[in-house]
Structure 1
Amino acid sequence: MPSPTQRVLAKVPGPLRPILLQHRSLVKFLVVGGSCFLLTLVINYGLKLTVCQNKPVVALTIGTAVATVFSYILNRQWSFRSEGSHKEAIPFFAVSALAVGVNDLPLLVSRYVFDLHTPHVSNFTQEVCDFLSGMIVGTLVAMAFRYWAMKKFVFTTRADPASPRTAAEPPAPVR
């Protein structure tokens, strides 16, 4: 039975398949990131509409932190296929803690530097600014930071069985 990845790849137009296969860890990372974005969105607005009505940065931070744990599990098991011990957990959560700050920064600037909150602006404007600064700009900047930092500092040894060569094989000569 084909894996879910193989079933999805079978539906991708032929010319795109080699590109996706060449950048498979990035594609998987983006799928995990999209799932975590939705999880963050649900938790953020669930908290903002209930117990954190006057604390949007706290709601975003909690949503991002919960999604980070989910992200760790999926990235470790799927995106970067880390094998062996959980030695990357400490650097993962260190990078993720920095990324939570990166994610929160645009919302903090929007709310408290530009005063884009009630009573200075309408409730609708406040919510649009919160969404754009916290969920969109913050997520995009934090995503770029996370991808770079995860590849550079956390998941430095990958074992991907779908890879055309193993780590023990030397790279093909350049012609």
Structure 2
Amino acid sequence: MSVVESVVLRLPEPLRSLALKHRELLKFAVVGGTCFVIDTVIFLVLKTTVLSEKPVTAKIVATLVATIVSYVLNREWSFKTRGGRERHHEAALFFLVNGIGIALNSLPLWVSRYLLHFQEPHVTRLGEEVADFVSAQIIGTLIAMAFRWWGYKKWVFPTADFRPRRVTRAYDREDEAPGDA
């Protein structure tokens, strides 16, 4: 049993039933949070060192690394009961959806830097850093996250309950949560 699942089982009703009902979304959010940290750290390191003159490139590289981690975690944990495709087809669709996600994630930073000119000398160094963080790490991430959630369920992992889930207790199954009538 994972840490998230053990926390969910300790929640009071009706939160437990709601969490069990939306466990896939919660797992997707945990994977997303983990990948957000990976993406943010890599982006900030690259942007302040070797790619200081190319923040959009730094963002793309950071997002690519986070995407690889995301595939493994989503495939083996978030959407482990979904499938319906051969592994190579699934991976190709995952990376296609994420390619679009990378573009959606990078677009607000590009707009901020090159259309709105939120960069030195037009704004202060602090203003540039805040604009980069907000546009790339907050706005871009939210837009891309919504698209990825939809794309994963629609194309990448389309068939629910395709792969059997290992059930450790009867109430670990979504259709048998305690308190359900």
Asked if residue 111 in structure 1 is aligned to residue 113 in structure 2, the reply is yes
> Which among 133, 143, 146 is matched to residue 145 of structure 2?
143
What count of residue pairs does the alignment treat as equivalent? 164
Distance 2:20 2:139 in 1: 28
What does residue range 53-92 of structure 1 map to in structure 2 within 5 Å? 53-81=52-80, 82=82, 85-86=86-87, 87-92=89-94
Distance 1:59 1:89 in 2: 24
Q: Quick one: which amino acid aligns to residue 49 of structure 1?
A: T
Structure with higher RCO (Cα < 8 A, 6+ apart): 2
Distance 2:70 2:61 in 1: 14
**Corresponding residue for 1:156?**
158
- In structure 2, runs of 5+ residues without a counterpart are 166-171, 176-181
**TM-score with structure 2 setting the length:** 0.85
- In structure 1, runs of 5+ residues without a counterpart are 166-175
Shift of 1:70: 0.3
Q: Quick one: which amino acid aligns to residue 138 of structure 1?
A: G
Distance 2:121 2:138 in 1: 23
Asked if residue 25 in structure 1 is aligned to residue 24 in structure 2, the reply is yes
Mark the CA change 1:30 to 1:98 in structure 2 (over 3 Å): closer, same or farther. Answer: same
Which moved further from structure 2: 30-39 or 152-161? 152-161
Q: Quick one: which amino acid aligns to residue 74 of structure 1?
A: L
Partner of 2:119: helix, strand, or coil?
Answer: coil
Distance 1:125 1:164 in 2: 47
Task: Answer yes or no: is the 8 Å Cα contact 2:51–2:57 preserved in 1.
Answer: yes
Shift of 1:11: 3.1
**Corresponding residue for 1:172?**
none
Distance 1:101 1:60 in 2: 10
Q: Quick one: which amino acid aligns to residue 22 of structure 1?
A: K
**Corresponding residue for 1:173?**
none
Asked if residue 121 in structure 1 is aligned to residue 123 in structure 2, the reply is yes
Structure 1 residue ranges (4+ consecutive) displaced by more than 3 angstroms after TM superposition? 82-85, 162-165
Shift of 1:88: 0.5
Q: Give the root-mean-square deviation of aligned CA atoms.
A: 1.6
Asked if residue 8 in structure 1 is aligned to residue 7 in structure 2, the reply is yes
Q: Quick one: which amino acid aligns to residue 151 of structure 1?
A: K
Percent identity over the alignment is 46
Partner of 1:36: helix, strand, or coil?
Answer: helix
Distance 1:22 1:150 in 2: 18
Partner of 2:14: helix, strand, or coil?
Answer: helix
Mark the CA change 1:130 to 1:3 in structure 2 (over 3 Å): closer, same or farther. Answer: closer
Shift of 1:19: 0.7
